[in-house]
Structure 1
Amino acid sequence: MSGPASLSPAAHRLITSAVRDERVQQRYWAKVAKPQVPGYTCWPYIGSLHPKGHGRFWVGNVRTRRGPVDVCVIAHRFGFALAHGMETLDAVPVLAHACDEPSCQNPAHLIPSTWGENLEQWHRRRWSPGSPLRDTRGPGGRARAIRAALQNGEDLQSVLSAGRGVLDTNQLDLF
């Protein structure tokens, strides 16, 4: 869902309908965790994950000439539409994560952006000590580790710090 131009009209109608459907909303929220970890305000997606760590949410299927086609959306875009409406989502080409956690669903962490702005912010924050962007497991590995910890009742704090490289461990901010 990267803007209305990338969706077929049928897919857009399906997603709009799904955003309004209470059963679909409940199915989405069942895949969003809100862990109680001091200082961690992300809401990780614990459903299907893209290799790069973004949640994948199936909203239904549409009929085409070739038969039914599953419509799967980036989960945080669906969550943003729940919080702000499809019209607002349609106007947003990119949703950047202020927290840099690709599986985060917290609407307060999602910032309307452009591809260029998002890339520029990524370059700025990529080198910040302790940033999730520096996780040695990569964004997908980090998201899968967080999901596994939440599903298995493991200590999330240790999973969050497990991907820190040697240079990030106990590193103090200089500024």
Structure 2
Amino acid sequence: MTRRSPTSELLARAADDPAVMARFWSHVRHPAGTACWIWTGAISDRGHGRFWVGDNRVVIAHRLAWAATYWGQPVPRLLSHDCDNPACVNPAHCRAGTAATNRAEYQARAGMPGSPLNDIRGARGRAEALRAAARSGMDLDAAITAGLSPLDRDQPGLW
């Protein structure tokens, strides 16, 4: 039997508690036009959702969404976002990674025109803008476009 880390155990207990999960899902929006599930609660300096699960314990929101979706499986120590949106809690957009693979993916995608990683507001600023748009029902595309530099916004596709 695989032994879980204390954090994985904490996430499993939270994912198994209907009251905790009802409170958690109340902070998630599914805006039209995107497959991302936007976290509308507290946000860390890196733009990831933060969620209090009790006893002054805070977890990363997308890790709890992963634990709830893949209940019974150990939660990976690091989850990489394929969508490059740290405010996204859609487990389908996350996969197990390492610090090294996460850095390599960041470096490979950060220079791509229009990449969310190029947002001039930074990860937290982007997450705050997306959170505000999702909370108010505003156009998510407008919130995304507002963070793009003219080069990223106006760069035509190559094919």
| Partner AA of 2:15 in structure 1 | V
Separation in 2, partners of 1:147, 1:36 = 14
Q: Deviations over 1:131-170 (max 9, x none)?
A: 1100000010000011111222322211111101011122
Aligned to 1:64: none
1:150–1:161 CA distance, 2 compared to 1 (3 A): same
| Residue equivalent to 2:62 | 76
Question: Which residue in 1 is equivalent to 2:23?
Answer: 27
Bigger radius of gyration, 1 or 2? 1
Of 78-87 and 19-28, deviating more is: 78-87
**CA-atom RMSD in angstroms:** 1.6
Partner of 1:125: 109
CA distance in 2, matches of 1:102, 1:49: 9
For the Cα contact (< 8 Å) 1:93–1:115, is it kept in 2? no
| Equivalence for 1:67 | none
Aligned residue among 42, 48, 51 for 2:36? 42
Closer/same/farther in 2, CA of residues 13 and 106 from structure 1, 3 Å limit = closer
2-side partners of 1:29 and 1:13: how far apart?
A: 20
Give how far 1:107 is off.
0.8
The letter of the residue matching 1:17 is: R
Secondary structure of residue in 1 paired with 2:38: coil
- Alpha-carbon distance, 1:36 to partner: 0.9
Is residue 109 from structure 1 mapped to residue 93 from structure 2 by the alignment? yes
Which residue in the other structure is 1:141 paired with?
Answer: 125
Q: Does 1:169 align with 2:153?
A: yes
**Identical-pair percentage:** 40
Distance 2:99 2:27 in 1: 27
Structure 1 residue 57 and structure 2 residue 46: aligned? no
Whole-Å separation in 2 of the counterparts to 1:171 and 1:46: 30
**What amino acid is aligned across from residue 65 of structure 2 in structure 1?**
G
TM-score when normalising by structure 1: 0.83
Could you tell me whether the CA contact under 8 Å between 2:12 and 2:68 is conserved in 1?
Answer: no
Q: Which amino acid aligns with 2:90?
A: N
Could you tell me which of 152, 156, 171 is aligned with 2:136?
152
- Residue of 12, 15, 18 corresponding to 2:11: 15
Q: Normalising by the residue count of structure 2, what TM-score does the alignment of the two structures yield?
A: 0.91
